[in-house]
């Protein structure tokens, strides 16, 4: 068990900056998620912590020891690869035993540890087979078992669930989280899937284009996104965004979206600085109410598409040329093209600066 | 975490160096050093019958002058070899592609037919030479079978006439190397993505149209590699042809390799042949750099 | 037209082309094999009887090659056994294969994983293979006559090692390239030093590749003609040279000659069929995989 | 664009064997003109084989395919006029977008001027005008997808077959394309058979869903039907995310009450007595209930089952809580953020209207 500290880490590939002056600290026993789209630099960060890639700038500390110049073999860090990288010519048992064997553990201890970790991950029945014939989920477990068997200081997981089918992913998600809670293992987990990050992580670092966007607990990431990128990336269906200008009239403050205006006087304090500026209004689909009759303060729109998803229905509404998604109850029935009225729950409004994308509210 | 000092050979850079050093030594010893010696020898009139190489008389560019302005036989041999190369490679390509097209789906006996077609490629070229030498004798089986088919006695003396001798060399080469083209084309065809082909079929394209508009264009890079590799190999033509004709009758079937063997290792004019060898090496280097490299790099 | 009928026609057409083609392809080999087991009176066909099937099978031709006494006494003046060429072919090809493989496998790994020797190194080797062998043999002849290596075992082994090195490097490199780099890195994180990664993890993984390459190189050495023709003259003559030399001595003794051909050809054909799947990869220097 | 209104497609007892392996097993299915039908199933369920048979790339072992009433089972593709879009899109990499679009018409030997007109029409409809001269191999993913679609549209097919056309896109783009595709289909009123393994895609786009597994048709119905009244355990499990909870139970009778005994808790299911009798199912059954039909409260409620929190997954929009009841586990889905921590005691109520009882032997849904 260990802590990981990263200071001002930078990595370039040619002219491309993969990781840009990144700093964070992972505490002992934490489930730490690095979330971001492909190319955000997630894998590069993991590879630098593992020692497979040399940083151009910055320091990496494991348990307060600088490890920049230590060979991967001596860092006591385990990693699972996206491709899993199981040794195809050996049995599952030999795969899992390998890290111990190379460290010259006594035979009976190896045997004990392998069987322990195999039963923990429910792959005891596979031990004598080669991993080639195992299913996607099983391979995943084997890879995790191989990483866990020597109880490394830090476990790095690189998109471990991206290659298994949706049903299994759901199951593995729960299992991994449970395992981590049980073992109190420090885990750094890279994923492009916001649902995975939200459901498993103690803290999430949202990355984009090598830069850290926000680092916080899932709840805050979801409810108080630091900028438009985070707001858009986290949550499905995605947040609705509407271009607006902030205007003042008769002591009231309005968001003017041309098709409609919204009174936001109650956020006076926070918005003071931004009067007259171009902003983006953001609201999550679950914070928009929809009704078939005209309601006070509601905005008129047209139904463009209805997606019944079983437990809920997502309605696509066009307010002139503004496209919005709204979550409705499962039994909500509405015809293509019919008129509806939507109302925003102003307690959950987000306002972003159009130029910088930073959250104002 | 122990910060032990790592042994010298465990450092990645050093380990890589250790692995590659034996190769460097042997390739430089037998590859590079002789090349330098050869450049020197090409400026002398060295012949092993008249003493060691360093005692030979330095004659400057005379060897090169003679190659370019006096040696008709050399240029004829080059012409002949190029002609043979082009004819052989094109025939092998067409036959190989045609055969490969028959093997893209499963049918009864596929494994047998594949193995049978590939067999000639695995015959030692010298043995191929002797096979064709036997078959095309005046009293050999080819004449016998031709007689049977036509019903009149045929006694062609294949190796006595230049054209027929050339033809047997052509046949032997095609026989031996069509399998290579077949294998290459087949692997290319099997590696093609099936979806575009199926897409063309669903859009209504006939078999020929699918081949002409979809398969052939997608095979282009592979065809380029195949023609090149085979062309380079065919230009080296020696083993089988030498055993069949020894370049005869006269010099009618003498290829570049045979000609150089004759000059260098029968007449022992090594200085002269070194100059010729260097010219060919330079020509090949230019060819490799400007033609082969781009195509090969694109592929891998 | 109904696709079922169309497919049936295509099916028949395929065999109409394939069967005669196969017969033509196999005929030269067939002729050599049957000639090697024919008695002398049937070696040459006559216009009325092409002698496609021998009336009696005899192994005299093979016996003649190894002990030219007691059989076919009429040809006893052509006494020349095949022991020596057969042995030198086996020894030279075998040793060169091992040597080339050891040196080449290590270097190929270094090139595949560490880009050792620079990006250009593999291509340099490839170009070496493009030159007509005769152009390469001239300088080697110069070197060997200096070192007095002509017609020696070590000379020939090193010659074969060097000329086949491009194949080893490119083939083995393609096999190494097939193994994802992730495996190396996983092994490193599991605690291996770079040498351990190579010897404990990667080498066992390319075992099949090594076997294929070894067989392929063996064929290439075994088939060599020009090299042995120029660099040997007496003690280390190989089988293909024997074939050509005896052709001059008793070229029209079709039976023993065919038997020599069969002995020279069979090992390669057997190996070739074993590694059929990888032949393309071999001949194209790993550029075309299957 | 003068697209004809789609035609009816009928599959009768369609069967395909590969050697001894039965890939598609007596599949009978009707697709009505203008309908968006989704063929849904896990990989290897026979949906791609079915698609290939409809397109004419494979001949069925047995059965018939009718397009607009015409038997096309053994006709070559050119006489079927099916618009097929592949999962890989299969845009010809060596041809420009224009040549790609024109290919189907060139094959049909249409005059050049006419080809030009049609290609331009389709290109403008799909906003491909700007890339007409770009080679197929150099397009972005969504341009490739539109080119594939356009290439199928230009021959004015009798109906469209789409083979997982969105599976290569990233999730965000996928959501947008789902809406766009559906709108296009509605506007052009085309018959579409949409093959997918993603239940969400099928649910959100299809008029009807045909669920397949192991070569057999499991259920056909509207998304609501398939979701709310699954025909068997496979459908119940395959559709909906997070998946339905399944708990092995025995049916027992006590004091004129029928009880579902799950060892760790029992549920009174007397109200389903008649159906259960009529179906004559054995005592071994499986209780199925979707996570969103499990209510959670922190206080004791009447008839509620007591459990402990085993795992909490905060997804922002919703929260999945896995509860442990003895040795059984039940997942509950709550909207919004729900604050509980592992080990908390809570009480579960199952929505009896949404409860499913499945016969363990036949795996058929009885209630």
Can you tell me the mean pLDDT for A183-195? Answer: 92
Right CATH number for D9-238 from 3.40.50.300, 1.20.900.10, 3.40.1160.10, 3.40.1690.10?
3.40.50.300
B3: nearest CA partner in chain A: A70
B10: nearest CA partner in chain A: A71
For D352, phi and psi rounded to 5 degrees?
A: -65, -25
Can you tell me the mean pLDDT for D43-47? Answer: 88
* A208 and A300 share one domain: no
Could you tell me how many CB contacts below 8 A there are between chain B and chain D?
Answer: 64
Residues of A at the B interface, defined by Cβ within 8 angstroms: 62-63, 65, 67, 70-71, 74-76, 153
What pLDDT digit, counting tens, does each position of D294-322 carry? 988 888 888 888 899 988 888 878 888 99
Per-chain mean pLDDT for chain B: 88
Distance, CA of A42 to CA of C288 (rounded, Å): 34
What pLDDT digit, counting tens, does each position of C17-74 carry? 999 999 999 999 999 999 999 888 888 877 677 788 888 888 888 888 887 666 676 6
D315 close contact with B: CB closer than 8 A: no
Residues of B in contact with A65 (CB under 8 A): 1
| pLDDT of D359 above 50 | yes
The total number of structural domains in chain A stands at 2
Task: Tell which of A233, A264, A285 closes a domain.
Answer: A233
For the range C90-96, what are the long-range contacts, defined as Cβ-Cβ under 8 Å and sequence gap of 24 or more? Answer: C91/C153, C92/C153, C92/C156, C92/C157, C92/C160, C92/C221, C92/C236, C92/C238, C93/C160, C93/C218, C93/C221, C93/C222, C94/C218, C95/C153, C95/C157, C96/C156, C96/C157, C96/C158, C96/C159, C96/C160, C96/C161, C96/C164, C96/C217, C96/C221
Residue B43: inside a domain, yes or no? Answer: no
Can you tell me the mean pLDDT for A59-88? Answer: 90
* A136 and A201 share one domain: yes
Question: Residue C191 and residue A102: Cβ atoms within 8 Å?
Answer: yes
Residue A359: inside a domain, yes or no? Answer: no
Give DSSP secondary structure letters for A159-178.
STTTTS-HHHHHHHHHHHHH
Give DSSP secondary structure letters for D160-209.
EEEESTTTTS-HHHHHHHHHHHHHHHHHHT--EEEEES-HHHHHHH-SEE
Residues of C in contact with D59 (CB under 8 A): 3-4
Confidence of residue A316 (pLDDT cuts 50, 70, 90): confident
What pLDDT digit, counting tens, does each position of D80-99 carry? 889 999 988 999 999 999 99
C114 close contact with B: CB closer than 8 A: yes
Token pair of D251 as six digits: 């049916």
Question: Residue A167 and residue D243: Cβ atoms within 8 Å?
Answer: yes
pTM of the predicted structure, to 2 decimals: 0.86
Q: Are strands D192-196 and D36-40 parallel, antiparallel or unpaired?
A: parallel
What pLDDT digit, counting tens, does each position of B178-237 carry? 999 999 999 999 989 999 999 999 999 998 999 999 999 999 988 988 898 899 889 999
Write down the pLDDT at residue D172.
67
Residue B299: inside a domain, yes or no? Answer: no
**Structure-derived torsion over alpha carbons of residues B159, B160, B165, B166, reported in degrees to the nearest 10:** 160
For chain D, give the percent of residues with pLDDT over 70: 97
Residues of D in contact with B209 (CB under 8 A): 107
| pLDDT of A94 above 70 | yes
> Closest to C284 (Cβ–Cβ): which among B126, B141, B225?
B225
Residue A358: inside a domain, yes or no? Answer: no
Write down the pLDDT at residue C277.
80
Q: How many helices (H) and strands (E) does chain B have?
A: 15, 0
Q: Which residue has the tokens 């209930």?
A: D289
Write down the pLDDT at residue B21.
92
A94: nearest CA partner in chain C: C201
DSSP state of D6: P
CA distances to A64, A91, C102, C116 from C176, in Å: 38, 21, 15, 14
Contact call for residues A2 and A75 (beta carbons, < 8 A): no
D102 close contact with B: CB closer than 8 A: no
Distance, CA of B186 to CA of B178 (rounded, Å): 12
For C225, phi and psi rounded to 5 degrees?
A: -125, -55
Write down the pLDDT at residue C68.
63
Write down the pLDDT at residue B171.
96
The answer, yes or no, to whether the previous bond of B249 is cis (omega within 30 of 0) is: yes
Task: Tell which of A209, A233, A257 closes a domain.
Answer: A233
Distance, CA of D254 to CA of D260 (rounded, Å): 11
Domain ranges of chain D: 9-238, 246-359
Question: Residue C134 and residue B107: Cβ atoms within 8 Å?
Answer: no
CA distances to A1, D166, D222 from B190, in Å: 51, 27, 41
Residues of C in contact with B287 (CB under 8 A): 130
Q: How many CA atoms lie within 13 A of B110 on its CB side?
A: 11
Residues of D in contact with C3 (CB under 8 A): 56, 59, 74-76
| pLDDT of B2 above 50 | no
Residue A41: inside a domain, yes or no? Answer: yes
Q: Are strands D159-163 and D192-196 parallel, antiparallel or unpaired?
A: parallel
Token pair of A237 as six digits: 């269906």
Residue B56: inside a domain, yes or no? Answer: no
* A75 and A18 share one domain: yes
C208: nearest CA partner in chain A: A89
| Nearest CA distance, C37 vs chain A (angstrom) | 46
| Nearest CA distance, C199 vs chain A (angstrom) | 12
Residues of B in contact with A76 (CB under 8 A): 1
Neighbours of chain B (3+ CB pairs under 8 A): A, C, D
| pLDDT of C89 above 70 | yes
* A125 and A184 share one domain: yes
Q: Which helix (H) or strand (E) is A279 found in, with range? A: strand A278-283
Residue B58: inside a domain, yes or no? Answer: no
Tell me the three state secondary structure of residue A293. Answer: coil
CATH H-level, domain D246-359: superfamily? Nucleic acid-binding proteins (2.40.50.140)
D76: nearest CA partner in chain C: C3
Judged on CB neighbours under 10 Å (0-12, 13-18, 19+), A143 is buried
Contact call for residues D193 and D185 (beta carbons, < 8 A): no
Per-chain mean pLDDT for chain C: 87
* A80 and A193 share one domain: yes
What pLDDT digit, counting tens, does each position of C193-209 carry? 899 999 999 999 999 99
What pLDDT digit, counting tens, does each position of D209-248 carry? 999 999 999 999 998 899 999 999 999 999 987 889 999 9
Confidence of residue A42 (pLDDT cuts 50, 70, 90): very high
Token pair of B131 as six digits: 């096979």
Pick among D238, D315, D320 to test the A interface (most A CBs inside 10 A) = D315
Structural domain harbouring B130: 78-271
Token pair of A221 as six digits: 């990431």
Pick among C181, C191, C207, C209 to test the A interface (most A CBs inside 10 A) = C191
| Nearest CA distance, D326 vs chain B (angstrom) | 43
Cα B57 → chain centroid: 35
Tell me the three state secondary structure of residue C69. Answer: coil
Write down the pLDDT at residue A1.
59
Residues in C 3-22 with any Cβ partner in D closer than 8 A: 3-4, 6
Confidence of residue A259 (pLDDT cuts 50, 70, 90): confident
What pLDDT digit, counting tens, does each position of B125-148 carry? 999 999 999 899 888 889 888 888
For chain C, give the percent of residues with pLDDT over 70: 93
C135: nearest CA partner in chain B: B277
Right CATH number for C83-283 from 1.10.3720.10, 3.40.640.10, 1.10.10.1100, 3.20.20.70?
1.10.3720.10
The total number of structural domains in chain B stands at 1
Residues B167-187: b if buried by 16+ CB within 10 A, e if exposed: ebbbbbbbbbbbbbbbbbbbb
Can you tell me the mean pLDDT for A250-256? Answer: 85
Residues A168-192: b if buried by 16+ CB within 10 A, e if exposed: ebbebbbbbbebbeeeebbbbbbbb
Write down the pLDDT at residue B113.
94
Confidence of residue B3 (pLDDT cuts 50, 70, 90): very low
Structural domain harbouring A289: 240-353
The CATH number of the domain holding residue A164 is 3.40.50.300
| Nearest CA distance, A63 vs chain B (angstrom) | 10
| Nearest CA distance, D79 vs chain C (angstrom) | 10
Write down the pLDDT at residue D5.
63
Could you tell me how many CB contacts below 8 A there are between chain A and chain C?
Answer: 58
| pLDDT of A252 above 90 | no
Distance, CA of D255 to CA of A63 (rounded, Å): 65
> Closest to C192 (Cβ–Cβ): which among A50, A73, A78?
A73
| pLDDT of A78 above 90 | yes
Token pair of C153 as six digits: 């075992």
> Closest to C180 (Cβ–Cβ): which among A79, A83, A99?
A83
Confidence of residue B1 (pLDDT cuts 50, 70, 90): very low
Write down the pLDDT at residue C133.
87
Tell me the three state secondary structure of residue B48. Answer: helix
Pick among B21, B127, B254, B278 to test the C interface (most C CBs inside 10 A) = B127
User: Mean pLDDT lowest for which of A26-35, C13-22, C43-52, D131-140?
Assistant: C43-52
Q: Which residue has the tokens 């084309």?
A: B185
Token pair of A114 as six digits: 């392998």
Question: What is the ipTM score, two decimals?
Answer: 0.84
C195 close contact with B: CB closer than 8 A: yes
Question: Residue D240 and residue A310: Cβ atoms within 8 Å?
Answer: yes
Token pair of C63 as six digits: 């016996």
Confidence of residue D2 (pLDDT cuts 50, 70, 90): very low
| pLDDT of A356 above 70 | yes
Pick among C1, C2, C3 to test the D interface (most D CBs inside 10 A) = C3
Residue B146: inside a domain, yes or no? Answer: yes
What pLDDT digit, counting tens, does each position of B10-59 carry? 888 889 999 999 998 988 888 778 888 888 888 988 887 877 777 888 88
């Amino acid at each position: 068990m260990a802590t990981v500290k990263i200071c001002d880490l930078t990595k370039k590939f040619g002219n491309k900056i993969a990781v840009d002056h990144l700093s964070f600290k992972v505490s002992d026993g934490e489930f730490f998620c690095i979330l971001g789209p492909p190319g955000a630099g997630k894998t590069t960060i993991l590879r630098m912590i593992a020692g497979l890639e040399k940083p151009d700038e910055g320091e990496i500390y494991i348990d307060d020891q600088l490890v920049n110049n230590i060979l991967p073999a001596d860092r006591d860090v385990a990693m699972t690869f996206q491709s899993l990288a199981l040794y195809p010519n050996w049995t599952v048992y030999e795969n899992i035993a390998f890290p111990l064997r190379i460290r010259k553990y006594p035979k009976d201890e190896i045997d004990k540890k392998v069987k322990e970790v195999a039963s923990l991950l429910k792959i005891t029945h596979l031990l004598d087979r080669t991993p080639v014939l195992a299913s996607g989920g099983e391979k995943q477990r084997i890879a995790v078992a191989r990483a866990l068997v020597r109880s490394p200081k830090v476990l790095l997981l690189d998109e471990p669930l991206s290659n298994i089918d949706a049903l299994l992913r759901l199951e593995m998600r729960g299992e991994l989280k449970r395992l981590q809670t049980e073992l109190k293992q420090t885990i750094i987990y890279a994923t492009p899937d916001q649902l995975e990050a939200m459901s498993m992580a103690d803290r999430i670092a949202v990355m984009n284009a090598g830069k850290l966007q926000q680092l916080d607990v899932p709840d805050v990431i979801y409810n108080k996104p630091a900028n438009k990128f985070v707001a858009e990336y986290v949550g499905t269906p995605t947040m609705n965004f509407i271009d607006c200008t902030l205007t003042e009239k008769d002591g009231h403050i309005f968001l003017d979206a041309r098709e409609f205006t919204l009174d936001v006087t109650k956020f006076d304090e926070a918005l003071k600085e931004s009067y007259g500026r171009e902003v983006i209004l953001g609201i999550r689909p679950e914070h928009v109410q929809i009704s078939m009759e005209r309601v006070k303060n509601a905005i008129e729109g047209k139904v463009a598409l209805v997606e019944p998803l079983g437990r809920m229905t997502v309605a696509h509404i066009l307010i002139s040329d503004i496209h919005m998604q709204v979550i409705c109850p499962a039994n909500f029935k509405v015809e293509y093209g019919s008129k509806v009225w939507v109302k925003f729950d102003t307690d959950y409004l987000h306002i972003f600066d159009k130029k910088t994308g930073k959250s104002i509210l | 975490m122990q910060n032990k000092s790592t042994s010298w050979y465990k450092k990645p850079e050093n380990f890589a160096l250790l692995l590659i050093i034996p190769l460097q030594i042997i390739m430089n010893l037998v590859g590079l050093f002789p090349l330098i010696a050869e450049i020197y020898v090409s400026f002398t009139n060295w012949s092993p019958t008249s003493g060691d190489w360093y005692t030979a008389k330095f004659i400057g560019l005379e060897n090169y002058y003679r190659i370019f302005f006096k040696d008709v036989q050399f240029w004829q041999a080059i012409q002949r070899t190029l002609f043979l190369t082009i004819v052989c490679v094109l025939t092998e390509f067409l036959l190989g592609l045609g055969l490969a097209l028959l093997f893209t789906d499963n049918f009864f006996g596929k494994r047998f037919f594949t193995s049978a077609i590939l067999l000639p490629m695995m015959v030692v070229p010298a043995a191929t030479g002797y096979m064709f030498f036997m078959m095309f004798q005046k009293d050999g089986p080819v004449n016998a079978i031709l007689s049977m088919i036509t019903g009149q006695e045929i006694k062609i003396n294949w190796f006595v006439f230049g054209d027929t001798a050339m033809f047997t060399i052509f046949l032997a080469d095609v026989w031996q190397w069509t399998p290579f083209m077949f294998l290459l084309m087949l692997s290319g065809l099997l590696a093609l993505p099936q979806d575009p082909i199926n897409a063309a079929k669903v859009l209504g394209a006939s078999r020929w149209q699918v081949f002409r508009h979809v398969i052939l264009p997608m095979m282009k890079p592979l065809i380029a590699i195949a023609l090149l590799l085979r062309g380079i190999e065919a230009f080296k033509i020696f083993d089988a042809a030498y055993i069949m004709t020894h370049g005869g009758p006269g010099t009618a079937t003498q290829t570049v390799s045979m000609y150089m063997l004759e000059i260098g290792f029968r007449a022992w004019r090594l200085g002269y042949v070194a100059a010729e060898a260097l010219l060919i090496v330079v020509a090949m280097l230019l060819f490799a750099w400007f033609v082969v490299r781009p195509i090969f790099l694109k592929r891998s | 037209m109904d696709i079922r009928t169309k497919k049936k026609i295509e099916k028949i057409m395929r065999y109409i082309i394939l069967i005669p083609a196969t017969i033509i392809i196999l005929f030269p080999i067939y002729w050599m094999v049957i000639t090697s087991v024919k008695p002398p009176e049937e070696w040459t066909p006559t216009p009325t009887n092409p002698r496609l099937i021998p009336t009696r099978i005899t192994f005299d031709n093979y016996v003649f090659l190894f002990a030219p006494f007691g059989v076919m006494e009429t040809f006893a003046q052509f006494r020349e056994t095949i022991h020596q060429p057969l042995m030198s072919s086996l020894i030279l090809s075998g040793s060169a294969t091992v040597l080339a493989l050891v040196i080449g496998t290590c270097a190929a790994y270094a090139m595949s994983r560490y880009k050792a020797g620079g990006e250009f190194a593999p291509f340099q080797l490839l170009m070496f293979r493009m030159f007509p062998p005769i152009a390469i043999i001239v300088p080697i002849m110069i070197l060997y006559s200096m070192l007095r290596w002509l017609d020696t075992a070590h000379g020939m082994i090193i010659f074969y090692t060097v000329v086949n090195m491009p194949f080893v490097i490119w083939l083995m490199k393609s096999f190494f390239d097939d193994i994802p780099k992730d495996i190396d890195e996983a092994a490193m994180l599991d605690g291996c030093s770079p040498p351990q990664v190579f010897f404990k993890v990667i080498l066992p993984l390319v075992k099949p590749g090594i076997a294929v390459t070894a067989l392929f190189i063996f064929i290439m050495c075994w088939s060599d003609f020009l090299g042995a023709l120029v660099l040997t003259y007496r003690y280390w003559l190989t089988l293909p040279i024997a074939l050509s030399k005896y052709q001059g001595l008793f070229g029209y003794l079709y039976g023993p000659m065919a038997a020599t051909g069969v002995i020279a050809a069979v090992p390669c054909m057997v190996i070739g069929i074993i590694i059929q799947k990888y032949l393309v990869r071999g001949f194209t220097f790993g550029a075309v995989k299957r | 664009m003068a697209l004809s209104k789609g035609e009816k497609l009928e599959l009768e007892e369609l069967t395909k064997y590969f050697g001894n392996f039965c890939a598609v097993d007596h599949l009978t299915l009707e697709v009505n003109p203008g309908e968006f039908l989704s063929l849904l199933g896990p990989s290897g369920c026979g949906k791609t084989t079915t698609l290939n048979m409809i397109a004419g790339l494979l001949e069925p072992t047995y059965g018939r395919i009718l397009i607009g009433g015409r038997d096309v089972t053994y006709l070559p593709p050119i006489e079927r006029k099916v618009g097929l879009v592949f999962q890989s899109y299969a845009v010809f990499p060596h041809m420009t977008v224009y040549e790609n679009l024109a290919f189907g018409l060139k094959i049909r030997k249409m005059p050049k001027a006419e080809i030009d007109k049609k290609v331009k029409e389709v290109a403008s409809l799909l906003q491909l005008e700007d890339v007409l001269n770009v080679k197929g191999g150099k397009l972005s993913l969504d341009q490739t997808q539109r080119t594939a679609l356009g290439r199928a549209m230009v021959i004015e097919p009798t109906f469209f077959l789409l083979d997982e056309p969105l599976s290569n896109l990233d999730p965000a783009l996928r959501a947008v394309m789902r809406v766009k595709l559906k709108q296009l289909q509605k506007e052009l009123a085309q018959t579409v058979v949409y093959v997918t393994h993603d239940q969400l895609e099928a649910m959100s786009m299809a008029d009807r869903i045909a669920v397949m597994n192991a070569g057999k048709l499991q259920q056909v119905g509207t998304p609501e039907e398939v979701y709310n009244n699954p025909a068997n355990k496979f459908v119940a499990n395959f559709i909906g995310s997070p998946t339905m909870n399944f708990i092995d139970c025995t049916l027992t009778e006590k004091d004129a009450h029928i009880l579902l005994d799950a060892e760790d808790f029992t549920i009174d299911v007397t109200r389903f007595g008649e159906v259960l009798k009529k179906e004559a199912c054995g005592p071994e059954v499986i209780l199925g209930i979707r996570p969103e039909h499990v209510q959670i409260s922190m206080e004791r409620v009447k008839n509620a089952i007591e459990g402990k929190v085993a795992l909490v997954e905060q997804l922002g929009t919703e929260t999945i809580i896995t509860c442990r009841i003895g040795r059984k586990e039940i997942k509950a889905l709550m909207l919004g953020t729900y604050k509980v921590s592992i080990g908390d005691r809570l009480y579960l109520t199952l929505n009896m209207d949404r409860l499913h009882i499945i016969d363990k032997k036949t795996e058929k849904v009885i209630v």
